Amino acid sequence: MTVALMWEARAVAGRGAELLTWARGQSLPAAPLRRETFRAPQDRVLVITWWDGSYDDSGRPELPDPPGDLVTRPVHRWRFESAGVDIP
């Protein structure tokens, strides 16, 4: 089974580029199958990592919280398990 961990933070206004750089600079103690970083309006940054394992496996490393003066609210985290690949 594949599990995706999603990490999303919102930077203080005008500091989105700094948050993006900070998130990209964070290493994990284990390498995921895949890691992708996104940005969005309102200085938001999203990082998704994909892992082999079960949904309930709490041993998957996650990105830490950024420095408190860089974000406007606590980090949001979600966990999803793959429902398979849809072919059009």
- From the number of C-beta atoms within 10 Å of its C-beta (0-12, 13-18, 19+), residue 21 rates as exposed
Cα separation values, 62 from 8, 27, 34, 50, 84, Å: 11, 10, 13, 11, 23
Predicted TM-score of the model (pTM): 0.91
**23 phi and psi angles, rounded to 5 deg:** -60, -45
34-40: strand order across its sheet = 34-40, 44-52, 2-10, 76-81
Query: How does pLDDT run across 13-56, given as a tens digit for each residue?
Result: 999 999 999 999 999 999 999 999 999 999 999 999 999 988 88
Which neighbouring-strand residues pair with 39?
A: 45
